[in-house]
Amino acid sequence: MNEIFLFIIAFLVGVLTRYVDLIEDHKAKSFRYANIILGFVYGLFILFVVVNFKVVAPLVIGTIIGLFIANKIDRVGHLAGVSVFIILLFFCFNFEIDSLFIYLVIIFAVVNFIEEKLNNMFDKIKTKKLFGKILNYRPLLEVATFIISAYTGLWILWFTLLSYDIGYILINHL
């Protein structure tokens, strides 16, 4: 399947994820149950990505595991999205898990967990310092993904994450 299609889906997942955040955390106006419906939709999109672009599965699964461990999937819209993904993944799971897959999942989960904890720490102290502002953009996962992409030659990982981030950030400016 075409990578451009993957990047478009990743972008849409970023938009939908952030919009669910805005509905649930910032009370953005929307129709009733929009958070659950949009969470469900982005869960289906994530499933589509993992099933059809197996090379990015460790990034997606590791990120979700890191978010779970950091207790960041705590609202009904995100629970709907991740639940749909996990439940349906068991029915669609048709690829081998090798040692590289496991290592990458662990790396992405740990990096995402650390990033979430650092972000929480700097949110609590409301720092205006440069490091706090940089962490607000959550660069650790991006840097780790870039390094892994450069090392493995799997640039599809970094471009997928970049596409997601563009969608996630762009929705703030609409």
Tell me the per-residue pLDDT of 44-94, one tens digit each, with 9 for 90 and over: 999 999 999 999 999 999 999 999 999 999 899 999 999 999 999 999 877
Q: Phi and psi dihedrals of 27, rounded to 5?
A: 55, 40
Task: Report pLDDT for 1.
Answer: 65
Which two three-digit tokens encode residue 31? 């129709």
| For residue 26, pLDDT beyond 90 | no
Non-local (6+) Cβ contacts of 58 within 8 A are 100, 101, 104, 105, 108
- Which of 29-38, 91-100, 146-155: highest mean pLDDT? 146-155
Written as one string, the DSSP assignment of 119-143 is HHHHHHHT--SHHHHHHHT-HHHHH
Q: Which of 78, 74, 5 is nearest to 41 (CA)?
A: 78
| For residue 24, pLDDT beyond 80 | yes
Task: Report pLDDT for 22.
Answer: 92
Average of pLDDT values for 138-152?
94
C-alpha to C-alpha distance for 62 and 110, rounded to whole angstroms: 8
Which amino acid, residue 44?
L
| For residue 20, pLDDT beyond 90 | yes
| For residue 153, pLDDT beyond 80 | yes
Q: Where are the domains of the chain?
A: 3-173
pLDDT digits (tens, 9 = 90+) for 104-143: 999 999 999 999 998 887 767 766 666 666 666 678 999 9
